[in-house]
Amino acid sequence: MKRPTYLDAGRKMRFGKPSRRLVDEAEPAPDPSTFPDFSLGTWLVQPALGTLTRGDRIVSVNTQTMMCLLVLHTAPVQGVSRAMLVARVFGLEASEEKIRPCLSLLRRVFAEDRSVRIEHAPNYHYCLWTGPPVEGRLTPGTNAQSSPLLEPITGITQWVNRPRQRAMAISLALVLVGLFAAMLVHVLGGMGHGLNHRVTGISAFAAEPGNKTSPSFSPDGRQVVYAWAKADSADSHLYVRSITGGESRELTSGPGADRFPVWSPTAALIAFVRTADDHCELWTVSPDGSNARRVADCAPDVIGPLAFTADGRALIYPNHTASLLPSQLISVNLSTGALSGVTNPTVGMPGDSYPALSGNTRRLAFVRTRNPGVADIAMVETTAGEVTHVTQDFSELAGLLWEPDSRTLLYASSRSGPSQLWSQAADMGTPRFLLSAEGEVRQPALSADGHHLIYERTHCTHELVTTVLDPKASGGTTTGPETLGAGREPQLSPDRKTLAFISRRSGNEELWLADASGESARQLTHEKADWLATPRWSPDGAQLLITLGSHGNSVIDSINVATGLKRELITEPQASYPRFSKDGKHLYYSSITSNMRQIWRRNWPVLDQAVQITEHGGVVAEESGDGKRLYIVRADRAGLWSHDLTPGGDETLIINDLTRIDAANWYTAPNSIYFVSRRTDGTAQLARYGEDTEATRLIGDLTLLALRSGLSPAPDGEQALYTRAKACQTDLDLAQIN
């Protein structure tokens, strides 16, 4: 039977730490050795034995994990707080970090059929949910050797596994290590640390009209296959072109969209995704265009890049069997059509995508998305099955691959503004900026020898437009948006007479000024930076704050409006998103500390010591219309949260449909918050949250909303300014690597 949750009880969603007095009164967790066996969902829990059993599936857990489960099982309907859970299992002085491995293990076990879930509740509480299992869920088999990624056990492996021969094998291995240590060091030293700072030239590879996407190199690195949706066609087909240039050769034809091609390791096949009329299928075709064959069905709402296994006999791709389930990585055998689950994400998240198998086949890296725009790289050892996290940015990811050394990952991420290319050691290394370009860089592909890099580059023409905030005031209808000129991220001065915006009118991203109607534009900066973002006026209108990004980092600069003189204001790592308090006495911004973006506050105009406001991550912060509360976009989850003005204060979720993608697309007004809400298909709508009614009302569609739009009030206060992507095109660029 399903246990009621805090949502069922209609409780106020108030987040904060419990009082110390309650924690001091914590009783020890139930003793597993004396606790009777009980059923939980489809599982039989045997505390004294430390086991969880489902059919022939038996999972052993340690004492602390079992105690954690017993505390959750015996907790009241509102759940148990994190601090109380730690105190009861580990003692009063234990760190809250100690409980994470226990919760993580339980969630992985219960994820197998979803009959049990550990859910978040108010005040950092946890509740145990039980219900029927989710049907149709593919999960990894109980036999570890059934994984399609594992290498078969050879005679040598079996010999080494024998007790007597193991010692001989270790001794032999030590001798070999000693003999080849110098050579190994030399080889690894020559391989370096990935591709950083070795890009020697970039040229256009495919720049014809239309969108060219998802490039993949042939195994010999001489050709590239990609998808091309021509400007005059609603369909997309696959094309092959030599890296030396020349005409492209059409590989597929017919109705539908053919996308995400990938070349097999043997060069005998090219696999791709075909969608048409809400149907999705996996296909393979020979490089000459013959022998096209349907392989399997897929879900049209979770399609993405594919990956071949090392032997070319199976494909790994994202899929789900029901719309309520997350996307998981599935393996399909090309000969038999047999399906096997490869990853097993938690229900409630978008799920897994972008599979990338290392060259030595030991590791599978993939993108795990927790919420729209909140993702990280995860990795599983193909011989163990334990999922680990490579990044902890909580940023949108759009492409992932292994570099030739099988130790370093290259990926496209928006961790520092627009999507750019980064590389990072797989074993929790530090992200290193690789390259950026005009627009958004996504979906990188690397030749097997590591000498050529190709990627998508999406560039758009932007225009500033207005939309009515209250359709009822104009007779219940809204006419088309009024255009104020080319640019993006508009911001109106305090006196409502001058408009600041970012534009490429001069060839580079620069800060521009115009009158409130968009006329008489003049260029204010001459930075020639990689990118600019989030302009904000000072309370007196004399300065503009701007986030300036270059070589993977960002700082906040102040620009004198009258003279154009620049002053470097905040240089903390990845500083961005400046916003002023309502009384003009404080400046809020975010920067990264301890691998997580947090909200900080400084006095204005004299910047004193920064005060950290958030503890659990924050991207953007702005005070409420009356200046009594602080609204923040968190780093690790969707929604807009109300936060005390004091550091480390309570948090309340007030808007649940603001995604990280729209972190900068909202603003506060008297008694209101205007923000961008997304439908399930990703289309944008303007919405208003009433602080007095605590209700959200949809206003209307924001047609062609740009990726980095910005949202601000128009001069009359009855309209909003935003950015529309008037025309976009995706091209392929080719980089030479030394």
As separate numbers, helices (DSSP H) first and strands (DSSP E) second, the chain gives: 6, 54
Average pLDDT over every residue of 358-367: 89
298 CB neighbour count, 10 Å cutoff: 23
Question: Over 95-149, what HEC string results?
Answer: CHHHHHHHHHHHHHHHCCCCCEEEEEECCCEEEEEECCCCCCCCCCCCCHHHCCC
For residue 473, the model assigns a pLDDT of 56
Cβ atoms of residues 657 and 637 within 8 Å: no
C-alpha to C-alpha distance for 289 and 208, rounded to whole angstroms: 22
* Lowest mean pLDDT across 53-67, 298-312, 601-615: 53-67
Average pLDDT over residues 543-564: 94
The average pLDDT across 196-204 equals 78
Which of residues 137 and 727 earns the better pLDDT score? 727
What's the pLDDT score for residue 580?
95
pLDDT at 56: 59
Q: What is the DSSP letter of 71?
A: H
C-beta separation of 416 from 573 below 8 A: no
Separation between Cα atoms, residue 284 and residue 42, nearest integer Å: 39
Q: How many CB atoms lie within 10 A of CB 59?
A: 18
Q: Which amino acid is at 389?
A: H
Output the pLDDT for position 24. 56
> 569: burial class by Cβ within 10 Å (0-12, 13-18, 19+)?
buried
For 556-592, what is each residue's pLDDT tens digit? Answer: 999 999 999 999 999 999 999 999 999 999 999 999 8
Residue 314 has pLDDT above 90, yes or no: yes
Contact assessment for residue 375 and residue 369, using Cβ atoms and an 8 Å cutoff = yes
Band (pLDDT 50/70/90 cuts) for residue 734 is very high
- Highest CATH level, class, for 14-130: mainly alpha
Q: Among 112-116, 417-421, 442-446, which stretch is predicted with the lowest mean pLDDT?
A: 112-116
Burial class for 279, CB neighbours closer than 10 Å (0-12, 13-18, 19+): exposed
Does residue 365 sit in helix, strand or coil?
strand
Handedness of CA 448, 148, 429, 423 (dihedral sign): positive
pTM for the complete prediction? Answer: 0.75
Q: What is the pLDDT of residue 384?
A: 63
Distance CA 43, CA 690 (A): 45
Q: How far apart are CA 105 and CA 538, in angstroms?
A: 49
- Compute the distance between CA of residue 438 and CA of residue 418 in angstroms, rounded to an integer: 9
Banded model confidence at residue 13, pLDDT cuts 50, 70, 90: very low
| Edge-to-edge strands, sheet with 611-612 | 576-580, 586-593, 596-603, 611-612
The pLDDT value given to residue 157: 33
664, two tokens: 């900068």
pLDDT at 372 over 60: yes
DSSP E strand boundaries for 372-497:
374-381, 387-389, 397-402, 408-413, 420-425, 432-435, 440-446, 452-468, 482-486, 488-492
- Per residue in 253-290, pLDDT (tens digit) is 988 999 999 999 999 999 999 999 889 999 999 999 99
Is the pLDDT assigned to residue 461 strictly greater than 50?
Answer: yes
Give the CATH number of domain 216-395.
2.120.10.30
Directed axis angle between helix 63-74 and helix 99-110, to 10°? 80
Question: Domain 572-702 belongs to what topology?
Answer: Neuraminidase (2.120.10)
Mean pLDDT over 476-503 rounds to: 84
pLDDT of residue 385: 65
Is the pLDDT at 39 greater than 50, yes or no? yes
User: Out of 195-199, 207-211, 680-684, 688-692, which region has the weakest mean confidence (pLDDT)?
Assistant: 195-199
* Residue range(s) occupied by CATH 2.120.10.30 in the chain: 216-395, 572-702
What mean pLDDT value characterizes the chain? 84
Which residues have a Cβ under 8 Å from the Cβ of 699 and sit 6 or more positions away? 467, 468, 469, 470, 471, 685, 686, 687, 688
Q: What was the pLDDT predicted at 6? A: 34
How large is the average pLDDT for residues 331-357? 90
For the chain, give every residue range classified as CATH 1.10.10.10. 14-130
Give the pLDDT confidence of 502-543 residue by residue, as tens digits: 999 888 899 999 999 889 999 999 988 889 999 999 999 999
